[in-house]
Structure 1
Amino acid sequence: MSGSNYTLGLIAAPGYPKELIDSLKAELPELLDYYVDDNRDWKIDCSIDSLTGGTDQSDEVMKAILSKRKENEWDFTVALTDLPLLFGKKAIIAEAYEEENIALISLPGLGAVSLSRRVRDSILQLVNEMFYTTSEEGREKAEKRLEQKDKTENKDLKTRNPKRLVGKKGFDKISPIQRETPEDTENIDVRFKVNSYAGSALRLLTGMVRANKPWVMFSSFKKVIMLAFTTGAYALVFPTLWMLSHEYSIWRMFLLSNISILAMVFWIISAHQLWEKKQVTQTAPHLRKLYNATTFLTLLTSVLLYYMLLFILFSFAVVLFIPMGLLQSEVSPDVGYVNYFYIAWTATSIATIIGALGSALEDEEVVLSSTYGYRQRQRYDEIREMMEEEE
């Protein structure tokens, strides 16, 4: 470390990790000054590098981080990847190598909620670990320094445990992150991971779905929504749909909804070939299952948003198209305004099936980019091209 500043290099995989770094870099110097060291100013330098997201092996990623740190002459380096990192099928959240002042954060392991705050806290903790060392003496020194800080200056960081990656609220109580200092692993001085298989799966699935940004994929549903709504709106003028919604029981309505939503999910998977197959990819079996589960849950979230929008549209259409007097004369004198709800519900389910089978999504690239397997193949291609250019 030299000069009047400490330089923290932040490396992000393309896409969502980059967005997170962009949102945090302005506030990090002041927070590092408080939580780590205030003898020098902190400077943040950012870089986008596919190597940090090009492999699921953390030791390979750490080598790439070390190379980047030496190339840029940073004092400390923290990399963010949207890849799930595993140690014996348990989720790795973060790792640090204090001798070289490099660290790695796996975003899926942090879960889906309050992600910006969790990433911020993780960066601060990892730099703290590297600055004061990962030993017990280093942790005690970091804790004593915090105790001497003004309580009113930063209450959030003042109460943090210097051995904990993030706070222990909500999600972290269900799936706690454990800190360990492995002795049998080279180039790793401290590791934060989840020790339960169920907790690891919960964190990774929710985090990976969040990283896939299902609301972005929703924009590709415009053509399907148009087809489904126009078809369903046409059907609304016929009494058959009114009578069906009146005769259907609640369990049948829920069954129809589930069938229509799942039909659309599996149609999109099939039409766009989103499923990772054993014969096609070289991905490890447990990662392939994780990728496929994430793809399914991402699409399920998008389709649920689509279903809710259709229901809202049909609710307005039912009130506009069907006079109450006509509904009572055609169906039963006992029907009331609640029947509008059931008609809209039935029309939404039927239109969803029609929309799924009658059209493909508009922007296939958006759909493909929201799946981990496709993004990984893109990154491997980028790395291969870069290596060929260097040769």
Structure 2
Amino acid sequence: MTDDHPSEQATVLGLIADPDMPETIADRLAERLPEQLDGEWHVEVDADPVTATLKGTSEILEQTAHKCDAHGWTYAICITDLPVRSDDGPVVADIDHDRGVAVVSVPGMGGLQTPRRVHQVMRQVLDELRSEAEGRGEPGQVREQRRHGLSSKAIGLLAPIRRKAVETENSHLDVRYVTPGRRGRLRLLSGMVRTNRPWRLVFGLSRALAAAVATSAFGLSSSTIWMVGDQLNIGFKVLTTATVIAALVAWLIAAHDLWEKRGDTRSDPQLARLYNASTLLTLITGVVVLLTILFAVNFLIAWLILPASLLSSMLGSETGVGTYMAVAWAFTTLGGIAGALGSSLETDHAVRQAAYGYRESCRRAEYQEHEQEDGES
């Protein structure tokens, strides 16, 4: 939240953000937006975990409107990591002109340059809200020309963002920005993976990492492991590495029940498939990062500790950088298998926190609680 107090002439914008990545983006916007908007603006950030439990943009818009009135803001926009689907395609933003509020879905921006895309959409949403409030446009009018980079060739090639007028019963929603078609779904999927921040998996799975490092250290002292790494051809090494990655990912999913049940009637079947795909890609990316770091550490340790003369005498061949890489690969593969076993010692809560963003972690915890209650009843 900004420190200074707004003057009476200032337009006050409230940014309600889910904890984690949306909050980080909101803090950046609070610093940059006032300088880029016409007139005097004051931006306040409210990181609210309450909105993270809401399940749709209609509910979020309602809660955002209540907060806007309670705080006395001119406009309020909720930045959420909730993936939203509609008949027209994945939703980027929903706007309620009447109450001066909107919700922006971060996953709908895709996995590349996410903060920049959110910034562009926020500028467009504010233009929408201000034009209606100042009588400079009709909310139902489809505007073909979008500003702030939303109509750029790059966005049009990846997944064009379309403006749709919406008429819904019992809802104030009247304008929606979507990314239609297959490219829009792929963009939403990449955004879901980006929101999960899969690289955090490395440090979130402490027991799995400890098991992998300990086993790699054992492999360092085994000349048999050196020979295996040196003798196997590149094709077999690639196949073995892929098998280790698949085993670790499958173990995590099975041991901690991370797979979305398609038979769950509370879930949209297509959204359930998206959740499963994002889980799979998140875990694969996180495991690849883990093994890459482990390989780099093993290579450095082997280079510093194992003399070239010792390796040459044991392997019966000249020792070079390739030899050390082969030996480090063997340590890493062995460590990866141990990491899969060590991951079963992690709690479900720890794995969800490591693999997902705040909202998705809460959603899966809630779903697991419902399953346990259903099993007990």
The alignment's TM-score, normalised by the length of structure 1, stands at 0.80
Q: Do 2:14 and 2:68's aligned partners in 1 also have CA atoms closer than 8 Å? A: yes
Distance 1:191 1:89, change over 3 A: closer
Structure 2 distance, partners of 1:83, 1:348, is 36
Structure 2 distance, partners of 1:165, 1:59, is 27
Structure 2 distance, partners of 1:53, 1:367, is 19
Structure 2 distance, partners of 1:14, 1:83, is 12
Equivalent residue number for residue 323 of structure 2: 339
Compute the displacement of 1:169 (Å).
Answer: 5.7
Compute the displacement of 1:93 (Å).
Answer: 0.3
> Which of 225, 228, 235 matches 2:212?
228
Equivalent residue number for residue 362 of structure 2: 375
Q: Do 2:202 and 2:209's aligned partners in 1 also have CA atoms closer than 8 Å? A: no
Equivalent residue number for residue 12 of structure 1: 17
| Counterpart check, 1:287 vs 2:274 | no
Q: Do 1:134 and 1:190's aligned partners in 2 also have CA atoms closer than 8 Å? A: no
Q: Do 1:111 and 1:207's aligned partners in 2 also have CA atoms closer than 8 Å? A: yes
- Deviation string, structure 1 residues 244-297 (Cα, Å, up to 9, x no partner): 223211111001111111211121222222222245673222222222222222
Equivalent residue number for residue 185 of structure 2: 201
Distance 1:218 1:235, change over 3 A: closer
Compute the displacement of 1:171 (Å).
Answer: 5.1
Structure 1 unpaired stretches of 5+: 140-160, 382-391
Q: Secondary structure at the match of 2:13?
A: strand
Q: Do 1:177 and 1:195's aligned partners in 2 also have CA atoms closer than 8 Å? A: yes
Compute the displacement of 1:98 (Å).
Answer: 1.7
Compute the displacement of 1:126 (Å).
Answer: 0.7
Structure 2 distance, partners of 1:9, 1:359, is 41
Q: Do 2:109 and 2:187's aligned partners in 1 also have CA atoms closer than 8 Å? A: yes
> Which of 335, 343, 367 matches 1:351?
335
Q: Do 2:208 and 2:338's aligned partners in 1 also have CA atoms closer than 8 Å? A: no
Equivalent residue number for residue 233 of structure 2: 249
Distance 1:343 1:101, change over 3 A: same
Compute the displacement of 1:364 (Å).
Answer: 4.9
Whichever residue aligns with residue 110 of structure 1, its letter is M
> Which of 179, 187, 190 matches 2:172?
187
Q: Do 2:18 and 2:80's aligned partners in 1 also have CA atoms closer than 8 Å? A: yes
The more displaced of 371-380 and 316-325 is 371-380
Q: Do 1:276 and 1:373's aligned partners in 2 also have CA atoms closer than 8 Å? A: no
Q: Do 2:215 and 2:334's aligned partners in 1 also have CA atoms closer than 8 Å? A: no
Q: Secondary structure at the match of 2:137?
A: helix
Structure 2 distance, partners of 1:264, 1:380, is 24
Distance 1:373 1:220, change over 3 A: closer
- Deviation string, structure 1 residues 219-242 (Cα, Å, up to 9, x no partner): 123433332233223223333223
Q: Do 2:219 and 2:334's aligned partners in 1 also have CA atoms closer than 8 Å? A: no
Structure 2 unpaired stretches of 5+: 1-6, 139-144, 369-377
Compute the displacement of 1:194 (Å).
Answer: 0.8
Structure 1 distance, partners of 2:347, 2:247, is 20
